[in-house]
Amino acid sequence: MTLPWNTTSLDDLCQRIWTELGVAVGEVGNPWRCPVLSTVSAAGADARIVVLRSVDSAACELTAHSDLRASKVEQLRADDRSVWVFYDPSARVQVRARCRMTVHDSDARAMEAWHRTPSVNRMNYLQRLPPGEVIPTPSVGWENRAEARPEFGLLLARVEMLDALWLKETGHFRARFTWVAAVGGARWQGEWVAP
Ligand X SMILES: Cc1cc2nc3c(=O)[nH]c(=O)nc-3n(C[C@H](O)[C@H](O)[C@H](O)COP(=O)(O)O)c2cc1C
Our finding on whether 70 is near ligand X (CB under 6 A) is yes
CB 181 within 8 A of CB 108: no
Our finding on whether 96 is near ligand X (CB under 6 A) is no
Our finding on whether 132 is near ligand X (CB under 6 A) is yes
CA 16, 50, 35 angle in degrees (round to 5)? 35
CB nearer to ligand X: pick between 16 and 65: 65
Our finding on whether 10 is near ligand X (CB under 6 A) is no
Per-residue contact flags (x/-) with ligand X for residues 30 to 69, judged by CB under 6 A: ----x-----------x-xxxx------------xxxx--
The nearest distance, CB 111 to ligand X, in angstroms, is 18
- The DSSP annotation for 38-104 comes to EEEETTEEEEEE----EEETTTTEEEEEEETTSHHHHHHHH--EEEEEEEETTTTEEEEEEEEEEEE
Rg (CA), the chain: 18
Count Cβ atoms below 10 Å from residue 149 Cβ, excluding itself. Answer: 10
Residue 110: enclosing H or E segment and its boundaries? helix 108-116
Residue selected from 131, 161, 174, 187 as contacting ligand X according to rule CB under 6 A: 131
CB nearer to ligand X: pick between 16 and 72: 72
Our finding on whether 110 is near ligand X (CB under 6 A) is no
User: Rule CB under 6 A: which residues touch ligand X?
Assistant: 34, 46, 48-51, 64-67, 70-72, 131-132
